[in-house]
Amino acid sequence: MPVGTNGTMKAVSNNFIEELRVNLILSNAYHLYLRPGMEIIKNAGGLHRFMNWSHNILTDSGGFQIFSLAPFRKIKDEGVRFRSHIDGAYHFLTPSDVIEIQTTIGSDIMMPLDVCTPFGISEKEALKALEITTAWARESRKKWQEGEVNRFLFGIIQGNFFPHLRKQSAEQLIDLDLPGYAIGGLSVGEGFEVFSDMLSLTRQYIPYDKPLYVMGIGTPQFILKAVELGVDMFDCVFPTRIARNALAFTHSGNLNLRLEKNKFDNGPIDAACSCYTCQNYSRSYLRHLFKAKEINGAVLTTQHNLFFIEQLMNSIRKSIEEDKFNIFMTNFLNQYSSGVA
C-alpha cells in the first residue's frame, strides 16, 4: 500500500497511482483527525471525495504515531491522552472514538487503537500493553458492528518480542473473529533476524483464510521475507521518503543519486526498469535536479521507487502462481545485495 498519510501521496498524483493499478492506499486517522479535522472531511462527503480517490483506503488508527509522542501522551485503560504535534493542544481519544473517526473518514479497512511498544521494554510493560490492546480491540469491534457492514476492521497483534505474549495476543484477537489481522510492534528498531523470527512465530497462530497485514515494512528484503512467511499486505513511507532524499531502488541495490559518480552518467536509474523516469531521464540529470533543489527530482524519483515496488509485487505474485517463489526470492536478493548500483 502506498502511504498517503495526510490524504495524499507525497510528490505524485492519484493518476500515477492508478496507472500502477494500485487499488488500496493507506492514510492515517490520527493525522487527518488533527488536520484538516473531521468537520471538513465530513463536509466533503468523506476522504474518498475529499482527495478524489475512487478506490480503497485503509486507515491506521494512529497508535504508532501516538506511541512516537511518548513524552506527550498518557495511556489509560479507557483511552489515550496526547498532545498534538501541530499546535500543542491536548486530546483524549477512546477506542470507540477512533472507530467513529474512521467511519467519518469513510475507511474501507479500519485499524483499532492499540498500544505499540518499543524494542527492549520489560515483559511486565509488554503484558500491560497487550492487555490494553486486547480490551481496546473488543471495544472497537463492538463499535464497528454498529456501523456499515461494508467496512472492515482488522485486529492488531502485539506482545512485543516475548514469544508467549505474541501467542497470547494472537489467540485473544482470533477469538474476536475479525475480517483480517495485522501484526504490529515489529520494525521498531530490532534487527532483521529478530524481525524474521518474531514474524515467523506470530504467523503460525493466525488462520490462513484471513488477510494478514504487517505494518510498517517497505524494503525488498523485508517484503520478501514476509511473503515467504505468508503475509499478504504491507505499507511503509520508506519508498517515497528515500526518493525525496535522492535514494532510488535498483535491482542491484539502492542508488544515491547525489553521488559524484552520477555526474556524467547518461544511463537511467535502472536499465532493467521500464518506468517513465528510467525511460526518459538520466542519472546525471536527476543528480542535477537534486543538487539544484528542484522539486521535480523528488517527483521523478518517487515515481520510480513506487513503480519498482509495484513491479516487485507483480513479480512475486507471478512467481507464486508458477510455484517458483523461493527461486525468485533467492535470485532477486543475490542481485539486490550485490551493491553495484
DSSP string, 57-98: EEEE-SHHHHHHTGGGEEEETTEEEEE-TTT--EEEE-HHHH
Q: Are residues 217 and 98 in the same domain?
A: yes
Q: What CA dihedral angle connects 277, 280, 283 and 285, to 10 degrees?
A: -110
What's at 141, amino acid-wise?
Answer: R
> Among 108, 235, 270, 323, which one carries the catalytic annotation?
235
- What is the domain count for the chain? 2
Plot region of 323 (φ>0 → left; ψ -120 to 50 → alpha; else → beta): left
Of 236, 257, 284, which residue is a domain's last? 236
Amino acid present at 123: E
Residue 65's pLDDT is 81
Give me the pLDDT at residue 211, please: 98
Dist CA 247 CA 250 (whole Å)? 10
Residue 214: per-residue pLDDT: 97
232 in catalytic set: no
- Does residue 341 contact residue 261 with C-beta atoms inside 8 Å? no
pTM: 0.96
Does residue 7 lie within any of the structural domains?
no
Q: Mind listing the pLDDT tens digit for each residue in 56-87? A: 999 999 877 877 777 778 999 999 999 998 99
pLDDT per residue over 158-179, tens digit each?
A: 999 999 999 999 999 999 999 9
Q: pLDDT digits over 5-46, tens only?
A: 999 999 999 999 999 999 999 999 999 999 999 999 999 999
Of 6, 212, 224, the C-alpha closest to 109 is 212
Residue 30's domain is classified under what CATH number? 3.20.20.105
Owning domain of residue 331: 241-336
Cell (9 digits) for 214: 504487517
Residue 5 included in any domain:
no
What stretches in the chain show pLDDT beneath 50?
none
Distance (Å, rounded) from C-alpha 176 to C-alpha 165?
17
Identify whether 235 is a catalytic site residue.
yes
Whether 62 and 150 map to the same domain: the answer is: yes
Is residue 6, in this structure, part of any structural domain at all?
Answer: no
Q: Parallel, antiparallel, or unpaired for β 73-76 and 79-83?
A: antiparallel
CB 110 within 8 A of CB 27: no
Report in angstroms the alpha-carbon separations of 124 from 82, 127, 276: 23, 5, 51
Answer yes or no: is 144 within a domain.
Answer: yes
* Other C-beta atoms lying within 10 Å of the C-beta of residue 107: 27
